[in-house]
Structure 1
Amino acid sequence: MAISRTSLVQILPRLESCAAFLCLIVAHLECPLMVPLPYSPICRRVTHSNKIVRSKSLRVCPGGGKNETIALMRRVLITGATSGLGREMALQLARQGCRLALTGRRADRLAAVAAEARAAGGDPLPLAGSVSDPADVRRHYAEIREKWGGLDWAILNAGVGDSKNALEFSAENYRWTFATNVFGAANWLEAVLPGMVAAGSGVVAGISSLAGMRGLPNSGSYCASKAALTAMLESTRIDLRGTGVSVVTVCPGFVKSELTDRNDPRKMLFLMETPAGVRCILDGIAQRRPFVHFPWPLSPVMAHIAPVVPCWLWDLAVSPFGRYRKKPYAEPGGARGH
């Protein structure tokens, strides 16, 4: 039986919707067929831009091309280093012998992380202050330039999150979230890019989130801020083509942190331990991948399928998550959860 062009036009969107719906069901149920090998602290299956790899340790990539060695005494900035992903990145890079500029609002916790990094073999420079304050950022970068002459990597990790339903909509909540998640990153981009471009080398990595791919219940300000951060990083990456400076956008799913500790564990699909998540991030930065996302299989669903799912189907799929309200959260030190 012949199928007319009109019939195909009507059928194909329905087939696409059905395929997307099946993927979302699998993600909801954490289908055993799609779950990778059991998690261990050493090995977890993850994805970087559609490529499934095994992340056992930081991948050191000597040679040319886009790969980059995590070299002894490399100069690295990590914002929001007092806890969560920021603290773990500091410790893992310290073991590689890196020089670390660590920022955070909580001076006592920042000093503790710096002490841990020093004991692990790194050379930390703790810089207490707020990424949302341009004066603090300028002061911190001036200290970095005076001490080290510049940066090789800038990891823009500082972030906050809050939970509000649209029935209690607050513009102030959006301003508070964007001040750190978007403008905090913008302040550091403004500071570090001229030096990196002049040197013709460097990597800027922004820690965004899979939550920025589509709107999620009770997470309007967080999702919006991560969507803005992702777009800002991508535009910056395009503009810097040919300068020798790479921009890496990192979109994790759920990684254990102070922020995720307040969530209902039943609704955090494929939750990763912090060390494993950080290994994925640093491996992607070392390879200068433009887009790093994990864990599998949540990341391909959120990064590639969710953006094309019809609105009615997306609303139906994610609405149940809104029944589990989160506790209020305000993390002044930049702890990370996705």
Structure 2
Amino acid sequence: MSLNMEKERSECSFEYFKELRKKSCDKICVNEMSVAEYNQQFNTIASTIISHDSSGFHHMHNKGDANDFAQLYSRAKHGSMKDIIALSGMVVSTFIAQFDDEKSSIYQLFQGLDVDSDTLVLMVPGSRNIESSSNVLFDIAVREINVFLARNNYPTIVNVKLPRLDPPVENYAALSQEEREEISKVRDHILPGEEFYNNRDVHLFFGDDVLITGATADKVVSSALQQGAKSFHSIYAAVVDPVLVAHTPEIESVLNTSCLKGDICQTFIKTVCNEQLIPVMKTYNILLEPSNYRDLTQKISCIPNKALETLYAYAMSNGYNSHSKYRDSLLFIDEYLSLKDDFNVCAK
């Protein structure tokens, strides 16, 4: 399948892509298609493809152990800047490597682009005042990718941030395919309309840290192609075995918690103590979790005041103080910081 063919625009509905993924999974099950071919069919590139069994995570191309990668991913997902940068580096290397393969869809796309008339756009899942790890990852990656593109006289990529009016669902990683689709209808990022594509040759890239069911990517691609995008590619740090995902979509939750299990452990404290800290959504799933309240009161002194002020300011900006689930933990942080002479967040 080629996602830049005009004759296919009428077919590019969300249901079309959903059904195509299902049929492709069936082919993988009977060895009529490889996962690499599955990715090619959707113009998808990924730094690694992983699966999971009784021994944990493994790389599908060579069956090598991927548990270290899973733990790195888990730390990045909760805001570890060191690990976000590592994932970003993987994405950059994978993207640039496409230019060494004349058969790759990205290589072929760029050979036909015009610096003056073609517009390249990157979109990642939307955020609301607090970024996700994907947002931060691709902020870093697109800058490095653009340096490569500019040096080689290709058009550079515009990083367009999708707005989100509602906060993401906290337990999204544990939801089934059907539940994800229902959530997407009412609480998802806002996609550009037809005017975004009018009078422009827009080539769209969708970036995310991991491909699980494809529900988010398929919503973006179907909208983009129907509105007039000339082509579509998706870029991931990792793709999870689509056959595994088909019957166990909650594997995303297993991946997310490979290292950070949800408690305020030493690894989590080290993550938020980083001077480069950019709090992400999942940082607060641990920090403000009611079951962690006692640990928060006992371990808060391990977090430098500057980092704690950053965490507090982002939380207030996202309205966590109005959520009964988080209010007590945030109030405790507020009171703790108020006792510090240098507390300078204007939140009262």
Same fold (TM over 0.5): no
Bigger helix share: 2
Query: What is the TM-score normalised by the length of structure 1?
Result: 0.31
